[in-house]
Structure 1
Amino acid sequence: ECFELLGKSARAKPCKGMMGLVEEGQEIMAEGEQKEDAAADLALIGAAQRVEHYEIAGYTTARNLAQQLRHSAIVSLLSKSLAEEENADQLLNQVARSLMSVAKMPAAVEQTE
C-alpha cells in the first residue's frame, strides 16, 4: 500500500538478515528435539522475538523516514504495522513468562518436600 501511495511498484528483494534469522530458527528447532519441552519452547520464542525485533527496527526506520518526508498516509500504515509487530513481541513475552513460571513450579515443589 505504501508503494502504491508513492506511485511505485513493490518488488521482492531477498533480505540476508532475515534469511539468517530463519536459518537460526531452524537450527533452534532441530536442537530443541534434544531439550526438555519448556527449554525448547523458550529457545524457539527467543528466535521468534529476534525476527520480531528485526521487523520492528525496519518499520521504525521506514516510519521515521516517512515522517521526515511528511507522508502522513504512509506514516499511518507503517505505524499500524509497527504496532502489530510490537504486539506480537509482547505476546511472545507473555508466553515466555508463563513457561518460565511453569518450569519453576516442579523445582519449588521439590524444595518443599
Structure 2
Amino acid sequence: MGFFSKDIKSLNDLFVHQLQDIYYAEKQIVKSLPTMIEKASDPQLKQGFTTHLQQTRTHVQRLEKVFEMHDAAIKAVDCPAIDGIIREANEVAGEVDDPSVLDAALAAAAQAVEHYEIARYGTLIAWARQLGRDDCAAVLKETLEEEKATDRKLSELAETQVNLRAA
C-alpha cells in the first residue's frame, strides 16, 4: 500500500498506516543501534545509544499495545524515510576515519532519527485524539516524551563534548 493509495480512505486508515510505518521504523532502529554502539568511541555516547536501544525495544512493545487497543493487526510497512536516514548514517560513518569525528557523525545521525520519530509520534497523537482514542494517544505520548528527552541528551552531549573533540 503506497502512502496515498486508494486503500487509505479515512483518518483511521491513515492512523493505522502511520502506526505500521513507525512500527517498521522502530524495528529498524533496534537493528541499527548495536552497530552505532560498536562504532562509538565516546563512553557517554556509547552508553546513550545502549540506553536508547533498551527504550526502543519498549517503544516497539508500546506500539504493539496501541495496535491491540485500536483493534488493528500488528504489522509493519516499509518506511523509506527511516531506511534513507539509516543508509545515509552508514555511508557517512563508513567515510570517517577519525574516531572523534565519527562520534560527531553518529550523534548527528541519531538526532536525525529522533527528529523523524518526534514528528511521527506527534502526528499520531493528534490523530488518535481526533479519532477519540485518548487511550492510544496517552501510550504514544509516553514514547514521544522519551524521544524528546533522548534528543535533548544528544544535543547536550554533542555541544559539550563530542563536537568539541571532533573540532
Per-residue deviation, 1:63: 0.4
The aligned counterpart of 1:22 is: 86
TM-score (norm 1): 0.82
Counterparts in 2 of 1:88 and 1:13: CA distance versus 1, 3 Å: same
Residue identity (%): 33
Q: Which runs of 5+ in 1 are unaligned?
A: 105-113
Runs of 4+ residues over 3 Å off in structure 1:
100-104
State the Cα deviation string for residues 16-75 of structure 1 (Å, max 9, x = none).
111001100101210122xx3322211111111001100111101100101112211111
Give 1:110's aligned residue.
none
Query: How many angstroms apart in 2 are the aligned matches of 1:54 and 1:65?
Result: 17
Unpaired stretches in structure 2, ≥5 consecutive residues: 1-64
Query: Which residue in the other structure is 2:119 paired with?
Result: 57
Q: How does 1:1-113 map to 2 (within 5 A)?
A: 1-33=65-97, 36-97=98-159, 98-102=161-165
Structure 1 residues 75 and 21: alpha-carbon distance in aligned structure 2, compared to 1, 3 A threshold: same
Report if the CA contact (8 A) 2:89-2:109 is conserved: yes
Number of matched pairs: 102
Larger radius of gyration: 1
The DSSP-based 3-state class of the residue aligned with 1:32 is coil
Give the whole-Å Cα distance in 1 for the aligned partners of 2:152 and 2:137.
Answer: 22
| Structure 1 position 6, deviation (Å) | 1.2
The separation in 1 between residues aligned to 2:80 and 2:123, in whole angstroms, is 18
